[in-house]
């Protein structure tokens, strides 16, 4: 299990924050407490600035969650399975379990987040005006004004036509809508994303060298993140598209041998590990999957116990996330492995073990399928 700073459910959606989110929260809080708020409202106590910064970070967290939940609930209204929102160092993401099936679904989903941010910008700005009962310098009014500004900037930044930002998804949806080619639309939108990434990197380096501003370093980090995200999103989508019309069972690792659960560990070492030069085997009892066993499990058994220890006793049982029905599509298996950070899954047909599917199998098939995009491969 990956560690998370917090996790809760809202409307059936899990909202969670990776540890890297803490870095962003501390950076934003520090910059608000020592820079932004003192510049806007001079003469207050240090503790007041710290409290204002804490409120600002809480408000920013709420704003990003609201932005991502807008994508999520609109997507779910279109029938898309989206069950998680994750916060990380560069913001947040609604985790798509599959790509939109139509360009209009993509377009409406992409616009939902920025529209929510603009709505929040309006609400916070209006509240700032109402809350300034102590004059324009009222601390609460300043926090609300900051949240109005940051939501406006969040909407504007996300609408940059740079995939995988919301604006890049809007661009992809429009190209897809008019060309009818999702793969081509993804490539063009990804190229736009990489172009904006290079701009951020160059601009950040210029700011860093010319002014010494740490903001320049942040621009560089955003640029590298955006470039990596654009490339990985393109590869991920092309992989999902290539796997969308093929059964996972047709992509199983060929020639996978099994080891009988009733054999001894000594026989397993001699007849399987040594003879077949493999690190692990699926362990079965007849046609039923028991688990897997390999070098590390065999080595953990004392040498004098190997002759009377059954393989079933050391087999590692598969977790629920490692099992999928044999009739699932390749893209569904790919999404499952990505979501749970798995290198392989086991396919089962009821109680019958059907085969092992590895991430390497999926990626290699998708690579060749995309390399020969016009060929009928499956």
User: Considering the chain, what percentage of its residues have pLDDT values greater than 70?
Assistant: 95
pLDDT of residue 232: 80
Residues 6+ apart with CB under 8 A from 139: 37, 41, 44, 48, 51, 52
Contact 344, 358 (CB under 8 A): yes
- pLDDT score, position 375: 47
Which has more confidence, 34 or 115?
115
So what's the pLDDT on residue 214?
65
Please give the Cα distance from 167 to 159 (Å, whole number). 4
Q: What is the mean pLDDT of residues 69-76?
A: 94
According to the model, what pLDDT value does residue 217 have? 78
Mean pLDDT calculated for residue range 231-236: 80
What is residue 240's predicted lDDT score, i.e. its pLDDT? Answer: 82
Whole-number Å distance between alpha carbons of 136 and 129: 8
pLDDT tens, residue by residue, 42-72: 888 889 999 999 999 999 999 999 999 999 9
pLDDT at 346 over 80: yes
Q: Is there a contact between 334 and 343 (Cβ–Cβ < 8 Å)?
A: no
* pLDDT above 80: residue 254: no
Looking at per-residue pLDDT, the higher value among 205 and 1 belongs to: 205
- pLDDT level of residue 137 (50, 70, 90 thresholds): low
Distance CA 188, CA 358 (A): 30
Task: Tell me the mean pLDDT in the region 117-137.
Answer: 79
Of 129 and 123, the one with more pLDDT: 123
Q: What is the pLDDT of residue 255?
A: 66
The domain defined by 248-371 carries CATH number 3.10.580.10: yes
Residue 369 three-state SS: helix
Helices (H), 281-356: 295-299, 311-314, 330-340
Label residue 211 by pLDDT band (50, 70, 90).
confident
Among candidate residues 370, 376, 316, the one with its CA nearest the CA of residue 183: 370
| Predicted confidence (pLDDT) at residue 377 exceeds the cutoff of 50 | no
DSSP letter string over 207-219?
HHHHH--HHHHHH
Per-residue pLDDT band for 136 (boundaries 50, 70, 90) equals: very low
Residue 278 has pLDDT above 90, yes or no: no
The mean per-residue pLDDT over the stretch 311-322 comes to 90
For 159, phi then psi, to 5°, come to: -90, 5
Q: Integer distance in angstroms from the first to the last C-alpha of the chain? A: 35
Which position has the higher pLDDT, 369 or 176? 176
Quick one: pLDDT at residue 213?
67
Residue 284, both tokens: 């079965």
CB atoms within 10 A of CB 89: 15
Mean pLDDT of 119-137: 78
The torsion angle over the Cα atoms of residues 312, 318, 319 and 324, rounded to 10 degrees, is -140
- Model pLDDT for residues 144-196, shown as the tens digit of each residue: 999 999 999 999 999 999 888 899 999 999 999 999 888 888 888 888 988 98
- The three-class DSSP label of residue 91 is strand
Q: Which pLDDT score, from 0 to 100, does residue 168 have? A: 92
Res. 279 pLDDT band, cuts 50 70 90: confident
Looking at every residue in the chain, the average pLDDT score rounds to 87
């Amino acid at each position: 299990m990956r560690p998370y700073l917090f996790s809760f459910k809202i409307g059936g959606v899990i909202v969670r924050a990776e540890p890297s989110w803490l870095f962003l929260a501390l950076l934003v809080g520090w910059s608000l407490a020592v820079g932004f708020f003192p510049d806007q409202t001079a003469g207050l106590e240090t503790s007041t600035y710290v409290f204002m910064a804490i409120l600002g970070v809480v408000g920013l967290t709420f704003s990003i969650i609201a932005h991502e939940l807008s994508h999520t609930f609109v997507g779910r209204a279109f029938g898309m399975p989206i069950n998680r929102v994750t916060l990380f160092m560069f913001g947040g993401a609604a985790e798509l379990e599959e790509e939109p099936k139509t360009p209009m679904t993509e377009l409406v989903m992409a616009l939902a987040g920025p529209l929510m941010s603009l709505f929040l910008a309006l609400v916070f700005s209006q509240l700032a005006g109402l809350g300034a009962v102590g004059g324009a310098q009222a601390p609460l009014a300043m926090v609300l004004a900051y949240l109005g500004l940051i939501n406006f900037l969040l909407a504007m930044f996300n609408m940059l036509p740079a995939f995988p930002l919301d604006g890049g998804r809007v661009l992809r949806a429009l190209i897809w809508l008019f060309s009818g080619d999702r793969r081509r639309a993804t490539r063009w939108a990804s190229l736009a994303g990489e172009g904006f990434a290079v701009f951020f990197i160059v601009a950040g380096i210029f700011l860093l060298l010319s002014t010494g501003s740490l903001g320049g370093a942040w621009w560089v980090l955003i640029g590298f993140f955006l470039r990596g995200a654009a490339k990985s999103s393109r590869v991920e989508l092309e992989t999902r598209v290539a796997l969308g019309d093929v059964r996972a069972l047709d992509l199983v690792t060929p020639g996978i041998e099994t080891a009988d659960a009733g054999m001894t560990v000594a026989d397993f070492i001699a007849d399987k590990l040594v003879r077949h030069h493999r690190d692990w085997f699926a362990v079965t009892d007849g046609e039923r999957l028991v688990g897997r066993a390999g070098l590390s499990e065999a080595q953990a058994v004392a040498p004098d116990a190997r002759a009377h220890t059954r393989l079933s006793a050391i087999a590692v049982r598969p977790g629920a996330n490692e099992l999928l029905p044999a009739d699932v599509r390749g893209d569904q298996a790919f999404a499952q492995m990505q979501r749970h950070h798995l290198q392989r899954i086991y396919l089962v047909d009821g109680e019958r073990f059907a085969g092992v599917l590895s991430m390497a199998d999926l990626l290699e098939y998708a690579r060749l399928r995309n390399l020969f995009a016009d060929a009928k491969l499956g």
